[in-house]
Structure 1
């Protein structure tokens, strides 16, 4: 009897479990999906019919396709990298923006830009020589960029010198794209002949080596000319200045005591026979004298030159030339000159926002590193300049180190005239047509007038 009762109990429990299972399945069927609760009122679940309240939120409309017109004067190799590597990467990030890159002829390009602006035919954005910025801004060709989003971050990420080339009359009219400067390049054999195992650290040490070579009929110091590109690294390093910090006046600076002393020192070097012939247009040229060509031995221990020297000559000079920072002057630093190109947006640009997005992309660490590796351009982005990928370029570190204290040429709309006056003053002093003080006094007075225009 007890066994029969046990069987009944087990059967009852089994039937109960089956009933519960069927109930669960029935509930799932009513809601239309397993794991979804039945309606709270116990009625049947609603059908799939969608109402305005239950419809999913509409997706954001994709941005309209736009085309950015970009002018540049990259060389053939640089343009190849731009078209085949850089622009495809930009398209991956900004699928709606097409960059139409146009390579412009370099001859009279600045005048072409002004003419295009007058006719309303400017592009959206351009890679422009950094000495043109102030003049183009004064002409009303460019629009300020310091109000665009992310500008402050670009300033923080960029070398100060290249950034300063975009400054005019209280605003920034561009951002620094690529830069360059000049360092000292030594002929290893002549350096040893002068009595040194490594490049001199100071100007005084350099002068000593130059005197050692003079006794052997060779030259220890080469300045490419008295002009405002070749001379400033030496003039600034020796303590000279062209204007005040705000670029408003030259009197008291270009002809100040420190500047006069700097020019007197350079003139004294030339009088002593320490400067190579190119200072006043003599031969052989800087590269020829440094390397020795056409069967003639090298006669210049050092020149002051940009990264294109190594970019052009490549491995042919890797074992014979030593790149080094400029020797330090009285303040314990060297001050070379800044060259390079900036990105500017034109007033009247049809796609300013898209053009600015392209500018930010070009200044990113990734693209700056890529262009440096592939073209030899010095990045304006400080992180890119220190990228591991650039450590393999044996001369690169010296240029990056020089950038830390390099200075921009005066950002004035009249820089061309200012540069001419500077060069003529130095040439007059070197040729003994005026004393250093007289030459700089006269140049400062004329430059003051140009700075006020």
Structure 2
């Protein structure tokens, strides 16, 4: 890179040697000085940004985005790097330790919370409010990225669940309105079973931790497990009663991922309602047109927390070690990446939901015409829920997946009637607290 002082030295030598005419020397000197007053005219700032598992599908999208931004900002050179999700975190930590972090990195909320706690990310409060920062992110998206009173990223995309329901099955059960609470959803599941002989609902009880949290029930408090409280026991008793009455689809009910079984049951007309992100509705349209034709959409009741299910937002964070002088330009690019226009374009391609109010208000999400199909209805219902769609997770615990298995086994034993619910939860809480206080799991 040619520096300003080197240019002036070269110009001075040429003028002294009479290689250039005096007037031309004067003009060039003024031009160079003018450039110099506005910074180094020949400097180009490189902004390297990392994404997670977005190649090859989104290569054209990011190539166009890079081209447009560089054309609008001649002093910026962008470099896009994409890593598989299972190696990105290690690559990032290694790069930060080596002092060579990317300027921006695509992270999930739990990863960001952990890295912010360890001092590996830059807070961006001032950058979100900087002059020209017009991104109007949803309250829920910003709340997801607020750790210890500071914000640690620029929201990008998220999702939220909706209820797809089989009109014929619900009509046969006498159900014509959306459930307003989890209790009503469980009651409707039992009604469907009693009137039609088919299960009404298929909750993801293999992820009972999120289920508890969405209902306002903590798993941990003051470093100890507390999911054996009377409120937790009462909720599990309601699940057990619904299970006993046949209200639940029992296929893979306690599996870590029961969604394939849920989709198959709904596609086969064997399930009253399916809770999923809007993208799954497209699969119904493709694989089972006759079921799709009789599918309606309800919002998922938010629960006492006011939180809607299914956030799992992704965003762009600034790693520790990015040069302070570069951060304003990095933030400007982050806001461009996550702008209303770009979020809308990305969301339509990826089948996800944007995190800015203006993008969510776009007719693509909001406009429902007469005879609109379930897929478009799902987008509109989801858009209305996005301002309260949060990522629910337990943070700061090593070997958490192993601990969750003890919780799931206890809930399974209680729901299926193999054990007393209070005793099963008490035992799981005792296991958690021993593990939390003792050595790490192998």
Please confirm whether the aligned pair reaches a TM-score higher than 0.5, indicating the same fold: yes
**Corresponding residue for 1:288?**
264
Equivalent residues in 2 for 1:14-413, closer than 5 Å: 58=34, 60-61=38-39, 62=41, 64-76=43-55, 79-80=58-59, 82-148=61-127, 150=129, 157-215=136-194, 216-227=196-207, 232=210, 234-236=211-213, 238-243=215-220, 254-277=227-250, 278-281=252-255, 285-292=261-268, 298-310=269-281, 312=283, 318-327=292-301, 329=303, 331=304, 335-350=308-323, 351-392=326-367, 393-410=376-393, 412-413=395-396
TM-score by length of 2: 0.74
User: Given the superposition, is the C-alpha separation of residues 206 and 101 from structure 1 closer, same or farther in structure 2, using an over 3 Å criterion?
Assistant: same
Report SS of the residue matched to 2:192: helix
Provide the alpha-carbon RMSD of the alignment. 3.9
For residues 70 and 418 of structure 1, do their structure 2 counterparts lie closer, same or farther at Cα, with a shift above 3 Å needed?
same
Q: State the Cα deviation string for residues 331-383 of structure 1 (Å, max 9, x = none).
A: 49564142121211111125433321111112222222222233322111122
Question: Which protein has the bigger helix share?
Answer: 2
Instruction: Give secondary structure in 1 for the equivalent of 2:107.
Output: strand
Relative to structure 1, the CA distance from residue 155 to residue 239 in structure 2 (aligned partners, 3 Å threshold; closer, same or farther) is farther
**5+ residue gaps in structure 2?**
1-22, 368-375
* Pair 1:408–1:107, CA change in 2 (3 A): closer
Counterpart contact for 1:334–1:402, Cα < 8 Å: no
Kindly tell me the number of residue pairs found equivalent between the two proteins. Answer: 390
Bigger Cα displacement from structure 2, 172-181 vs 384-393: 384-393
Higher mean C-alpha displacement, 217-226 vs 318-327? 318-327
Structure of larger gyration radius: 1
Provide structure 1 residue ranges, at least 5 long, that are not aligned to the other structure: 1-47, 293-297
Q: How far apart are the structure 2 equivalents of 1:419 and 1:404?
A: 29
Give the Å deviation of 1:237: 5.2
Aligned-residue offset at 1:223: 1.2
Q: For residues 309 and 276 of structure 1, what CA distance do their matches in structure 2 show?
A: 18
- Assess if the C-alpha contact under 8 Å between 2:113 and 2:145 holds in 1: yes
The 1:358/1:183 distance shift into structure 2, 3 A limit, reads same
TM norm structure 1: 0.72
Q: 1:101 to 1:279 in 2, by over 3 A?
A: same
